[in-house]
Each structure stands twice: as C-alpha cells, then as structure tokens.
Amino acid sequence: MNAFSADAAADLLVAQFRQGTKTQPAMSGPGTRAEAYQVQDRMIAALGGACGWKVGRAKTDPEPYCAPVPASRLLNSGGDYACFHGVAQVEAELGYRLGRDVPPSAAVLDRAECAALVDAIVPALEILETRLEPLAAQDPLWKLADLQANGALVVGKPVPWAGQDPGQVRLAIGSGQDGAFEEVAHPFGAPFDLFCWTVNHVARQRGGLKRGNVIITGSYCGIVEIRDPQRFVATFADYGDVCLTVL
C-alpha cells in the first residue's frame, strides 16, 4: 500500500471521473478533512473549475463538510442522463445562488452579509457517482476527497431570493404529475446556516466563490435509485420543478 499523496489521489480520481469508471486505490487515503480538501482542490482544478458547492453534516460531528461541484457536469432541467453502472442515484435539493463574487478573505461574514450575497433559490437534482469501489467508498475521508460522490448537478428555473426559509418544504417526486405533495423537513434542520458556513469556509480556505455559483445543502428525499429508463421530476410547491430523463 502506497503512502497518501494528494496529487496521486487527485490524478487517480480525475481519471475515473473522465472514464466513467471506479477503482479501489492502492494507496492510503486522506487522514484528515484538510487532506481530503487538498485532493478536492486538485481535482476541481484539473476538471475545469466549480459551478457550485455541496455541503452536509455528519450526525456525529457538528462541523459541516463540503465539496465543489464540477462546472463540466452542470446540466439544465429536462436533459438526459445515462445510468452510472446500471443505476442512477438522485437527490432533490434546493440551492442558494450567488448574485456576486465572494473573493478570498480572512474575514468572517455574518448571516446578514451572507444573505446579501444570494439572488435566487434554485430547485436542483444532485446526481451521485462514486469513483471508488465499495471498500474505499465506505471510508468517509476517501468519499469526501471524491467530491462527496458528486456526479452532476441539474438546475431548474431560479426563484428570486426574498429571505425564504427552506427548512420545511412541500415536495412531490415521481415520473411526471403522479407524485403527491408531502411536507418535508430539511435533513440538517437549518439550510441557511450550512450556506453561511460554506461561504465562509470557501472564502477563507478555498479561493473564494463566483457569481452564479449554486450551493446545495442536502436532499429532501434521501437518495432515489432509478434502474429503468424514465423521466424523474421533483416539484417543490414554492420553488418550481426540476427534472431529467434517465436513459
């Protein structure tokens, strides 16, 4: 087993990303979140930059974690998606879209300053694709290094920002108009707090954010697995719908 190297880990994962394959690394994985973030940064630079970020929080750790979303995998609602290794894994989310750049800075932005950065809420589908075979994919730090398994981001029509709180939403998922609305709580309870943490983390440690970046904060429906060709639609009562056709 080779020793961990952020450069070697990023090269390995980028190759799987481009080829649509998975691997069991023959090297030790990252030992800290900081090392996993080093791999992410090298990956996203090689893949052409980020269109946004995903953020989450483990139940056993109050510190959130995040990963950049490759700009090359930003899709508009209504597009097609070929199953990754026979299954599409999809999450229905809402994203905060930035209305202006956030330059690198050591300052900590407060909630009001973070809110002033947002120009829209965007209905979104995150597509999950691990570049790792199961043994490595079950390692939280390898998974984090692998962009937290992000495969693509599908975005719908933005809704102008007016301070909405998407901590509780009405959501219907299905193949068209067949889904029934259900009242759903955000999986981490306070999505705007996660947005603020991400803005500050990326501005202070990861080079800043760009106007138009979308920050997604967690799935309202868990992971939906789709194995047969079909149209998948997520409709938020207050934020519109977003869809894709799984091939």
Tokens of 30: 């990252």
Residue 169's CATH number = 3.90.850.10
Range of the domain at 185: 49-246
The reply to whether 10 falls in a domain is no
Decide if 50 contacts 207 (C-beta within 8 A): no
3-state secondary structure of 195: helix
The reply to whether 99 falls in a domain is yes
**pLDDT, mean of residues 78-86:** 90
What's the pLDDT tens digit per position in 83-111?
Answer: 888 899 999 999 999 999 999 998 899 99
The whole-number pLDDT of residue 177 equals: 60
3-state secondary structure of 37: helix
Report the DSSP pairing between strands 118-128 and 65-70.
unpaired
The reply to whether 36 falls in a domain is no
What's the pLDDT tens digit per position in 20-70?
Answer: 999 999 999 999 999 999 999 999 999 999 999 999 998 778 899 999 999
The model's pTM: 0.94
Report the DSSP pairing between strands 88-98 and 150-155.
unpaired
DSSP strands (E only) in 35-167: 50-56, 65-70, 74-76, 79-81, 88-98, 118-128, 150-155, 159-160
Fill in the amino acid letter for 104: P
Phi, psi torsion values for 215, nearest 5 degrees: -110, 115
3-state secondary structure of 18: helix
Decide if 71 contacts 209 (C-beta within 8 A): no
Query: What is the distance between the terminal CA atoms of the chain, rounded to a whole angstrom?
Result: 38
What's the pLDDT tens digit per position in 185-218?
Answer: 999 989 999 999 999 999 999 999 999 999 999 9
Question: How many C-beta atoms lie closer than 10 Å to residue 230's C-beta?
Answer: 15
The mean pLDDT of the chain is 95
The reply to whether 32 falls in a domain is no
The whole-number pLDDT of residue 38 equals: 98
Decide if 53 contacts 74 (C-beta within 8 A): no
The reply to whether 16 falls in a domain is no
Q: How far is CA 92 from CA 2, 10, 21, 239, in A?
A: 38, 28, 24, 12
The reply to whether 220 falls in a domain is yes
The whole-number pLDDT of residue 62 equals: 84
Decide if 63 contacts 180 (C-beta within 8 A): no
The reply to whether 8 falls in a domain is no
The reply to whether 25 falls in a domain is no
Q: Considering its fold, how many domains does the chain have in total?
A: 1
User: How sure is the predictor about 1, in pLDDT bands with cuts at 50, 70 and 90?
Assistant: confident
The whole-number pLDDT of residue 178 equals: 66
DSSP state at residue 111: H
